[in-house]
Amino acid sequence: MAGTDTLALQRLNYDSSFKISEHNWLKDVLNNVQTEVEDQSKYLGARQGLSPALAKLWYLSELADGLKARIQLAAAEAVVSGASMADVGRATGKSPSNIKRDFTQLDDIIQAITDAHESYEPIDIQIGGWGIELPPHYETLS
C-alpha cells in the first residue's frame, strides 16, 4: 500500500491536469468559505464594534489555525493507518525530515488516536489550542 500511496502522491504533485481539476474544487470551497467569512465579519464587526476588514482578518486567522490543527490530526491519522513519514511529507509538501518539527504535537496525537482505538472511548485532545474529540474506532488498526 505504501508504494501505491507514494506513486499516487507523486502523480498528484506533478500531474498538472489533475492538479487543475482538484484546484478548481478547492477554489469552490474557498469561495464558499470567503462568502461565509464576509457575512460573519459584518455581524461580528457590528456586535463588537470592529471594522468588517479586521473582523474578516480575525476570522481568517482563526480558520487558518483550525486548519493547521486538522492537518496535524490528518497527518497523525495517516501515520496510524500505516503511512510513512516520507508520504506524509509528500502529502503536505514538507520534507519528511521536518515533519515532527513542523507538526509539533504529532507523537501526542498518534498516542491519543491509539488510546481511542484501544479504549473504545472518545478522547478529547487539544491541537494548537483547538479542542478536538477523537472518536473511538472499532476496526483493527493496520
Distance of CA 44 to the CA centre of its chain: 25
Q: Sign of dihedral through CA atoms 26, 32, 33, 34? A: positive
In a domain? residue 124: no
Grid coordinates given for 80 = 496510524
Check if the beta carbon of residue 65 is closer than 8 Å to that of residue 128.
Answer: yes
Interatomic CA distance for residues 16 and 127, integer angstroms: 33
User: Is 134 within the bounds of a domain?
Assistant: no
Indicate whether 119 belongs to any domain: no
Q: Put residue 33 in one of left, alpha, beta given phi > 0 → left and psi -120 to 50 → alpha.
A: alpha
How far is it, in rounded angstroms, from Cα 53 to Cα 73? 30
Residue 117 belongs to some domain of the structure: no
In a domain, 12, yes or no: yes
Query: Whole-prediction pTM value?
Result: 0.80
Q: Count of residues for the chain?
A: 142
Q: Report pLDDT digits (tens) over 56-69.
A: 999 999 999 999 99
φ/ψ of residue 93, rounded to 5: 70, 25
Number of domains in the chain: 1
Q: What is the pLDDT along the chain (142 residues), one digit of tens a residue?
A: 567 888 887 777 776 666 666 678 888 888 999 999 999 999 998 899 999 999 999 999 999 999 999 999 999 999 999 999 999 998 998 888 889 899 999 999 999 999 988 888 889 999 999 999 988 875 544 4
> Is residue 74 situated within a structural domain?
yes
141 in any annotated domain: no
Which residues span the domain enclosing 83? 2-99
CA 26 to chain centre: 14
Q: Is 13 among the domain residues?
A: yes
